[in-house]
Amino acid sequence: MRTGELAGQAGVNAETLRYYERRGLLERPPRTSGGYRDYPASTVELLRFVKRAKELGFTLDDIEELVHLDAGGPDSCDAALTLAETRKADLEARIADLERMRDSLSELVDTCALPRDQRRCVLLEALAAVEPQ
């Protein structure tokens, strides 16, 4: 399967394929007599796995490790679990930060709904208090 066909089936850019090859995430495919890359059909599933893992927030380094762990036994399963737990903890921390930001913005919006003489804009006050660098 040529680069363009693979990219289309997997929903990625052709440059993404070349980048993944350079990183070692994809094995370099054999070339046709005309010099074109000839990817095996199984590469589509690998690329779909990579896309899904990226959507879940895994880094390419994590994904590369997960791909290599896939061929292992119980020890690999434990390592994959550790990666997933770490990623989950990172996401929970980001969610907590986002919830705090949402709550702060809600307070700001609620303040803006008050009559002008009762308003206190915490955002403007916070920005005014920041020292220029």
Is 37 strand, coil or helix? strand
Give the model's pLDDT for residue 128: 79
Q: Residue with structure tokens 């809600």? A: 106
**Residue 66 maps to a domain:** no
Q: Are residues 76 and 112 in the same domain?
A: yes
Q: Are residues 91 and 119 in the same domain?
A: yes
Give the model's pLDDT for residue 12: 93
Alpha helices by DSSP H, listed for the chain, are 3-10, 14-23, 42-55, 60-69, 74-112, 122-129
CATH number of the domain enclosing 37: 1.10.1660.10
**Residue 78 maps to a domain:** yes
Query: For residue 46, what are the domain limits?
Result: 1-56
Of all residues in the chain, the percent with pLDDT exceeding 70 is: 95
**Residue 62 maps to a domain:** no
**Residue 132 maps to a domain:** yes
Average pLDDT value for residue range 12-38: 92
pTM, two decimal places: 0.64
Residue 6 burial (C-beta neighbours within 10 Å; 0-12, 13-18, 19+) = buried
Asked if 1 contacts 39 with a C-beta cutoff of 8 angstroms, the reply is: yes
